[in-house]
A and B are shown apart, each in its own frame.
Chain A
Amino acid sequence: ETGVTQTPRHLVMGMTNKKSLKCEQHLGHNAMYWYKQSAKKPLELMFVYSLEERVENNSVPSRFSPECPNSSHLFLHLHTLQPEDSALYLCASSQAVEDTQYFGPGTRLTVL
């Protein structure tokens, strides 16, 4: 059981498609995160939001566009992705940015 949910759990898309990943946290947290987990590489922090404001963008290509409409929801909008973007995308949340992060189950993305 997790307080952080992600949809969809699996996504296959072409390079010209536009899709969005959704994350929702039910923990009353104020900070949310996107991570990328590629095969044989460590988890990489992509974006950090605190109180709906972006506080970190770790040199992520512009084809990934995050959106945080409120403290419970986080989106990752995808467009014109490349096959090397295929990975597991994890969402996390924490009470504040300095607190322990709790992770969702991830979305397995395949780009054809």
Chain B
Amino acid sequence: AQSVSQHNHHVILSEAASLELGCNYSYGGTVNLFWYVQYPGQHLQLLLKYFSGDPLVKGIKGFEAEFIKSKFSFNLRKPSVQWSDTAEYFCAVSPSGAGSYQLTFGKGTKLSVIP
């Protein structure tokens, strides 16, 4: 079975600071990788995903993530955060192919951006 580790429980940044949220997974096969975001009072939304191809994935709102297979990592980055990025961010992994619906989530990282 796969597992996901998000090392930071709560990150506090000032506006315009750069962001990197860590995500590591464990799984013996090929994987699909996701970042979801949950803004205060809203539902979980897909930020970006990686299935195959270019390991640098660009998502909505200026976010990107890089899949580093050798490190089993899929860190989320944004060069300059805004107050509106305050939310909880969840990394998730599923096996590629059969059983790909088996999404396993990390515990999430709360991001607070101070104006």
Contact = CB atoms under 8 A, between A and B. Distances in A.
Contacts of A98: 97, 100-101
Contact of A41 (B42, B97, B107): B107
Interface stretch (B13-21, B43-51, B63-71, B79-87): B43-51
Contacts of A102: 46
A39 B32 CA distance: 26
B85 to A, nearest CB: 19
B107 A40 contact: yes
Contact of B44 (A41, A42, A103): A103
Nearest to A48: B101
Contacts of B45: 103
Interface in B56-111: 90, 92, 97, 100-108
A55 B105 contact: no
14 contacts: A33-B101, A41-B107, A42-B104, A45-B104, A48-B101, A56-B102, A90-B44, A97-B100, A97-B101, A98-B100, A100-B49, A101-B103, A103-B44, A104-B43
Given A42-B107, A48-B101, 10 more contacts: A31-B101, A33-B101, A41-B107, A42-B4, A42-B105, A42-B106, A43-B103, A55-B101, A101-B103, A106-B43
Contacts of A56: 101-102
Nearest to B34: A100
Contacts of A31: 101
B43 to A, nearest CB: 4
Nearest to A44: B105
A94 interface: yes
B22 to A, nearest CB: 15
